[in-house]
Amino acid sequence: MTDSYLSAMGLDRPETGDDAVVPFTLEKLDTRGRIVHLGPSLDAILSRHNYPAPVARLLGEAVVLTALIGSSLKFEGRFIMQTQTDGPVNLIVVDFEAPDGIRGYARFDHDMVVKWAEAGKTSPAEMLGKGHMAMTIDQGPHTERYQGIVALDGNGLEDVAHTYFLQSEQIPTQVRLAVAQMSTKGDHRPRWRAGGMLIQHLPQNGMSRMADLPGDGDFNNPSMQDPDFVEADGWTEARSMLATVADVELADPELSPERLLFRLYHETGVRVFPGLPIEERCTCSADRIEEMLANSFTDEEREDMSVDGEIEVVCEFCSTAYRFNPHQFHAKH
As a whole number, mean pLDDT of residues 108-117 equals 96
Of 14, 13, 5, 9, nearest in space to 25 by CA: 9
Decide: pTM greater than 0.95: no
What radius of gyration do the chain's Cα atoms show?
Answer: 22
- pLDDT of amino acid 213: 42
- pLDDT of amino acid 327: 83
Tell me which of 155 and 185 has the higher pLDDT.
155
Least confident range from 6-20, 211-225, 271-285: namely 211-225
pLDDT digits (tens, 9 = 90+) for 299-320: 888 888 888 888 899 899 998 9
Tell me which of 202 and 331 has the higher pLDDT.
202
Question: Is the pLDDT confidence value at 229 over 60?
Answer: no
As a whole number, mean pLDDT of residues 183-194 equals 85
Q: At what angle do helices 157-168 and 53-70 cross, to 10 degrees?
A: 30
- pLDDT of amino acid 212: 43
Distances 197 to 75, 174, 193, 257 between C-alpha atoms, Å: 22, 8, 14, 9
Question: Is the pLDDT confidence value at 284 over 90?
Answer: no
As a whole number, mean pLDDT of residues 193-216 equals 67
As a whole number, mean pLDDT of residues 21-46 equals 95
Q: Taking every pair of C-alpha atoms in the chain, what is the biggest distance, in angstroms? A: 73
pLDDT bracket for residue 297 (50, 70, 90):
confident
Q: State what percent of residues in the chain have pLDDT above 90.
A: 57
Spatial contact of 317 and 95, defined as CB atoms under 8 Å apart:
yes
Of 3-12, 273-282, 287-296, 301-310, highest mean pLDDT: 273-282
pLDDT bracket for residue 227 (50, 70, 90):
low
- How confident is the prediction for the chain on average, in pLDDT? 86
Question: Is the pLDDT confidence value at 200 over 70?
Answer: yes
Distances 308 to 87, 292, 311, 325 between C-alpha atoms, Å: 36, 21, 9, 10
As a whole number, mean pLDDT of residues 222-242 equals 75
Tell me which of 215 and 245 has the higher pLDDT.
245
Determine the distance from the C-alpha atom of residue 150 to the mean position of all C-alpha atoms in its chain, rounded to a whole number: 15
- pLDDT of amino acid 298: 85
- pLDDT of amino acid 216: 45
- pLDDT of amino acid 2: 59
As a whole number, mean pLDDT of residues 261-288 equals 92
Of 272, 252, 253, 251, nearest in space to 261 by CA: 272
As a whole number, mean pLDDT of residues 31-45 equals 96
Question: Is the pLDDT confidence value at 9 over 50?
Answer: yes
pLDDT bracket for residue 3 (50, 70, 90):
low
- pLDDT of amino acid 302: 87
